[in-house]
Amino acid sequence: MSKHQGTIALFGTSADPPTCGHQALLEGLLAMFPKVATWASDNPMKRHCAPLENRKALLATLVKAIANPQLELVQELSSPWAITTLKLANTRWPSNELVFVVGSDLAGQIPHWKDARAVLQLARLAIAPRQGWPLQLQQLEALECLGGRIELLPMQIPATSSSEVRSQPKPAQIPAALWPLVLEHNLYGLATSP
Ligand X SMILES: Nc1ncnc2c1ncn2[C@@H]1O[C@H](COP(=O)(O)OP(=O)(O)OP(=O)(O)O)[C@@H](O)[C@H]1O
Ligand Y SMILES: O=C(O)c1ccc[n+]([C@@H]2O[C@H](COP(=O)([O-])O)[C@@H](O)[C@H]2O)c1
- Indicate the residue among 22 and 35 with the shorter CB distance to ligand X: 22
- Indicate the residue among 7 and 161 with the shorter CB distance to ligand X: 161
Report which residue type is found at 3: K
**Which of these ranges, 40-48, 54-62, 148-156, 176-184, lies near ligand Y under the rule CB under 6 A?**
40-48
Residues pairing with 71 in the sheet:
36
Tell me how far apart the alpha carbons of residues 58 and 79 are, in angstroms, rounded to a whole number: 17
**What does the DSSP 8-state code read for residue 106?**
G
- Indicate the residue among 44 and 180 with the shorter CB distance to ligand Y: 44
Tell me how far apart the alpha carbons of residues 191 and 194 are, in angstroms, rounded to a whole number: 9
Q: Decide: helix, strand or coil at residue 36.
A: strand
**The only residue of 34, 81, 150, 189 in contact with ligand Y, by rule CB under 6 A:** 81
- Indicate the residue among 6 and 171 with the shorter CB distance to ligand X: 171
Tell me how far apart the alpha carbons of residues 174 and 169 are, in angstroms, rounded to a whole number: 10
Instruction: Point out which residues bind ligand X (CB under 6 A).
Output: 13-16, 21-22, 25, 102-103, 105-106, 128, 130, 157-163
Residues that bind ligand Y (CB under 6 A): 12-14, 41, 43-46, 80-83, 106, 113-114
